[in-house]
């Protein structure tokens, strides 16, 4: 077990909160840091309700180096799980400088402060967006990277490059890069889940808001792709499986690992229409939809080869599509306006 605390940056966000629950359940001491730009302290209260444990939480921004130093002075940190970052693809195309400054500049600050305090272990929340448009399917870790279609994806790719260079230059670093496919679902308690601000950018929160009456209908962008029903195919992974993948990565890192890369996905692709139909079944609510034109930067199909994570981390996704939809609907119907009390 780690000799010190696990610092979770962005720990009040969607994947962050679910990972904090799994870390606490696995017996780790956890500290959360989040600037609450796209999250709420209510999510941490809910984590404490689920686990029965208190979580030390700090509202610190990655661009505030002195704030980072103060946090590292207060706690003996063993490893940083780094989720914090801006993540809206469309916004990244409109405001690239903000994304590069926040995501890359903030990560460099964090790494410099870690080094000052002798903390050399990191698990980084990366993304399948680093693969760009797939050259082959399923995508394994040897697939070329860097052909990203938006600034958000490029920030994930550049941070991977920074961490790889750091491990090459300074051998005391242990880094695991986790490339996620599409996280969906929610904790089985219905207390925590995805709570996008404004109109959701991702498919499943959009569908669940249609089901709960917040949005009128689903817009399907493109039905002329080379896929079974013409709509885009993606690899959707239950957020709890994803969170457990981080715990498995931490156990691997504790043995010393240098720099390792793993895909976290199910290896199965589902189309937009299949997801809407599965959610209708899971929620018992109709999901009306209309077909619109393709979006710039979208690709036809993308799904993972996650065998390496199974072989080296002993991890595999266990929760199926029905469970993803049931858990998401429980969260959404219990929290129609998310963590906010008002509509």
Separation CA 203–CA 219 (nearest Å)? 9
What is the SS3 assignment for 14? Answer: helix
Q: Which strands form 259-264's sheet, in the order they lie side by side?
A: 56-58, 30-33, 5-9, 77-82, 121-127, 174-180, 259-264
Q: Residue 337, preceding bond cis, omega within 30 degrees?
A: no
> Which structure tokens are listed for 250?
């931490």
> Which structure tokens are listed for 135?
């050259």
Q: Residue 145, preceding bond cis, omega within 30 degrees?
A: no
Contact of 86 with 100, CB cutoff 8 Å: no
Task: Kindly name the residue from 28, 78, 152, 225 that is annotated as catalytic.
Answer: 152
What string of DSSP letters covers 177-226? EEEE-EEE---TTSS-----SSS-SSHHHHHHHHHTTSSS-EEEE-S-SS
> Which structure tokens are listed for 99?
């994304």
Q: Is 270 annotated in the active site? A: no
Contact of 51 with 89, CB cutoff 8 Å: no
10 Å Cβ neighbour count for 322?
A: 11
List the one residue out of 63, 54, 71, 64 whose CA is nearest residue 106: 63
Which of the residues are catalytic? 152
């Amino acid at each position: 077990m780690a000799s010190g605390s696990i610092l979770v940056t962005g720990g009040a966000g969607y994947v962050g909160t679910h990972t904090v629950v799994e870390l606490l359940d696995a017996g780790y001491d956890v500290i959360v840091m989040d600037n609450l730009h796209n999250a709420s302290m209510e999510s941490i209260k809910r984590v404490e309700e689920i686990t029965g444990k208190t979580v030390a939480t700090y509202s610190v921004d990655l661009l505030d180096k002195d704030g980072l130093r103060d946090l590292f002075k207060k706690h003996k940190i063993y490893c940083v799980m780094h989720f914090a970052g801006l993540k809206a693809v469309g916004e990244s195309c409109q405001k690239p400088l903000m994304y590069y400054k926040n995501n890359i500049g903030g990560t460099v600050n964090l790494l410099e402060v870690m080094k000052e305090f002798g903390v050399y272990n990191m698990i980084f929340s990366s993304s399948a967006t680093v693969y760009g448009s797939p050259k082959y399917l399923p995508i394994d870790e040897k697939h070329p990277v860097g052909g990203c279609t938006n600034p958000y994806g490029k920030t994930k790719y550049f941070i991977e490059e920074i961490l790889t260079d750091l491990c090459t230059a300074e051998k005391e670093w242990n880094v695991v890069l986790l490339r996620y496919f599409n996280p969906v679902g929610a904790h089985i308690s219905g207390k925590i889940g995805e709570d996008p601000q404004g109109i959701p950018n991702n498919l499943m929160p959009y569908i669940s808001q249609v089901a709960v009456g917040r949005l009128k209908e689903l817009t399907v962008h493109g039905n002329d792709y080379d896929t079974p029903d013409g709509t885009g195919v993606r690899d959707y992974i239950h957020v709890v499986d994803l969170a457990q993948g981080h715990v498995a990565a931490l156990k691997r890192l504790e043995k010393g690992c240098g720099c390792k890369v793993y895909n976290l996905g199910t290896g199965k692709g589902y189309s937009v229409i299949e997801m809407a139909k599965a959610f209708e079944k899971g929620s018992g609510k109709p999901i009306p939809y209309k077909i619109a034109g393709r979006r710039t930067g979208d690709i036809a199909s993308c799904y993972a080869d996650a065998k390496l994570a199974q072989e080296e981390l002993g991890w595999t996704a266990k929760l199926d599509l029905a469970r993803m939809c049931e858990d998401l609907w429980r969260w959404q119907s219990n929290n129609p306006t998310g963590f906010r009390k008002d509509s």
